[in-house]
Structure formats: structure tokens, C-alpha cells
Amino acid sequence: MSVQDEIRRLTAPDIRARKGGEPIVCLTSYHAHTARIVDAHCDVILVGDSLGMVMHGLETTVPVTLDMMILQGHAVMRGSKRALVVVDMPFGSYETSKEQAFTNAARVLKETGCGAIKVEGGKRMAETIRFLADRGVPVMAHVGLTPQAINTIGSFRAQGRDETDWARIEEDTIAVSQAGAFSVVIEAVAEPLARKLAAAVPIPTIGIGASVACDGQILVLEDMLGLSPRVPKFVKRFGALGPGIEKAVADYAAEVRARAFPGPEHVYPMKGKKG
Ligand code: KIV
């Protein structure tokens, strides 16, 4: 394959340019093998810090470390070749100062090869987003429900159900856009607010439980595949892999116990013996 024939990876500016155009398809992935599948159909692969809950069985994303994100980010980069890979900055890795955010974001870009990072928070993160964007770090922002704030917000409840909250969420969305974010995840907000947010900013809004009014959609892969035991109400299950895996494992266990596996077709012929 010549250099010209190689598939070009989508970049943050490519995604930014899709505002108001064809919907942007995004999914999470944490592994090379799922990244390979997702890459064929998605514009953005997010290595979300949801990996703490999905892969590691943690109650929240708070304990996730930068090293965990870098390890899985690297795996996803190896498994994919076309989608823009965005790696989440975990709780505690970017909030202290804009300098801390840059040092850790630069580590993520250098060590994984990904094309962008994501941070949670609106107005309070604007200065940091500006600092990162000015220094070559493409930032996807995340407003509405921000799971890393679970210890202050108390639950993973939908945001903006009360119209008095709308102005705050709108200010957050406009602030991250003006600060230079190339896109913004809007999590768990009602449809009329999502529509207002999409109209308020010139960058794509990527919804998760935020209606079709957004410029793109994202889901946690394991949730939409039916692999997660508990999922938020808005998740549509596009697959039912949990029961399929359970049946395959049960069939395997039954064959091993019955000494039926490996069967004769798996027995290697002995060298020097005929018949
Ligand atoms: O961590 C994650 O997977 C996310 C998505 C749910 C947007 O932030």
C-alpha cells in the first residue's frame, strides 16, 4: 500500500467542521479488539473513563487514574485506523491548574498517539480549555451531567429538568465553545434544552441521553451491546451479547465436564504412528 492509499485518520478539525452536517457517530471503546469493530462505523472513538465502571467494576469513575487511561488509549489506537480517538482525562488529572492539565494532556497525546482529550466541566474549565487549545491540545468538553462530580451532585440524575437550570447549562456550553473546544458532549439533558444548546454554539454537540437535537450521538459500547448489568434509562440496547456469551460459556463448561472437549478433531496425530 502506498503512502497515498493509506486511510487518513479523522482529526479534531474534521469533526469540528461537521457542525449542522451529517450526524457524528461516536462510541466508547477500551480495547484493540472492540476498537477494530467500532472503527469501521464510527467517526469518533472515546476511550471514556467509564472504563472504571465497565471494565473494573468500580462504583464511580472517580478512582480512575491517568495510567489506566493511557494504557487503554494506546490499545484503542492500535486497534483503529480511521476514527478520531479521544481519551478522557480522569478525575484529579486536570483540575488543579491549567499547567497540570497541559502536562497530563501532553502525556496522553504523546504516549497513546490519540488525536484529542476530553475534560468534564463548563465555565469553570474554560480557562484551562483555552490554555490547552492554544498549545496544540484539541479538547472535547463535557457538560450537563458530569459523572466525575458524583460526590458533589449526589446521583447520576438527568440535568435541566427544571427550567431554572437551563441558563447555567447554556452558559457552560457557550463558555467551552468560546474557549476553543472542538466539540462538546451533552449528557442527560431534556430535548428542548439540547435543541437550545445545539443552536447556541458553532461546535458540534454530541449527545448521550440528550435527544436527536444534538449534532452527533455517543453511547458506552458495552451498554448498547447488552453487556452491562445496569444501564441508564436512555440507553437503547442494539445487541444482547450478555446472554449469548453466557450460553457459550455454559456450553463450554458442560463439554469440559463431560470430557467431550476437545473432541477427536482436536487431537494431534502422533509422529511416526500411522492410522
Ligand atoms: O466516560 C465515558 O464513557 C463518557 C461518555 C459516557 C460520554 O464520558
* Ligand 1 atom with the shortest distance to the CA of 28: 3
Give the whole-angstrom CA distance, residue 83 versus residue 85: 6
One of 2.40.40.20, 3.10.180.10, 3.10.129.10, 3.20.20.60 is the CATH number of 3-241, namely 3.20.20.60
Query: According to the model, what pLDDT value does residue 273 have?
Result: 59
**Which pTM value belongs to this model?**
0.94
Is the CB of 183 inside a 6 Å radius of any atom of ligand 1? no
Q: How far is the CA of 220 from the centre of ligand 1 (A)?
A: 7
Residue 1 predicted with pLDDT over 90: no
Nearest to 232 by CA among 213, 205, 207, 204: 207
Domain segments of the chain: what residues? 3-241
| Catalytic positions | 187
Band of pLDDT at residue 269, cut at 50, 70 and 90: confident
- The SS3 assignment for 49 reads coil
User: Mean pLDDT over residues 19-35, rounded?
Assistant: 98
Per the model's pLDDT, the better-predicted residue between 129 and 162 turns out to be: 129
**Contact 209 CB / ligand 1 (< 6 Å):** no
Which DSSP state fits 269?
A: P
Query: Is residue 223 lining ligand 1, measured as CB closer than 6 Å?
Result: no
pLDDT for 157 equals: 82
Averaged over 262-275, what is the pLDDT? Answer: 72
C-alpha–C-alpha distance, residues 208 and 240, integer Å: 20
Three cell numbers at 169? 447549562
pLDDT score of 65 = 98
> Which ligand 1 atom minimizes the distance to the CA of 61?
1
Examine the pLDDT at 19 and tell me if it is beyond 70.
yes
CA angle at 45 for the pair 43 and 47, rounded to the nearest 5°? 165
